[in-house]
Structure 1
């Protein structure tokens, strides 16, 4: 399974419970489909966006960024992307397929001589 990096911008003013529920739902979807979550890194909750973004007929100037690394099949990737894009608390979703060998070395700090 390839490793994906997933950067999401959610609304800044949402309650912590709603944010945690959205994260829990996303992680559960990945795990239920045979994937594995490597790491989750939430950033500050009130960050000014580089430009105004529109979602669901609302303009947003602030957001909450979070980053996730996970292993999943491409079919799971499209499912997760669709779920988050339909979520009313999500402003933007960006996913990138990270090179497996180099990303594992960067994430784990694996020496060059180690066989993956």
Structure 2
């Protein structure tokens, strides 16, 4: 079950997919921001909010400010509950001492994870 966004996150939602995702975000000339993934899937090259023409996808206007705000949102490791930011979460997950690991005998067919 997906959690609902916090008040701090609500203004950072993509108006198309309603997610608050790390990564590249685009904006129209009027300042409406949406994730690059949704921008690439728009059936017409118009802003999903105000319908102003967006131009070519390869010349999209990035919203680096939105990207920085999302990267700075608080997050928590699912394995050790360490408080992090969203931008730190992926790197931490690789080194978290409590992350699940496969059995050392996985190559021999052991499917244990813990």
Larger relative CO (CA 8 A, sep 6+): 1 or 2?
A: 1
- TM-score bracket relative to the smaller structure: under 0.3
Q: Which has the larger radius of gyration?
A: 2
Q: Which has the higher strand share?
A: 1
TM-score under structure 2 length normalisation: 0.23
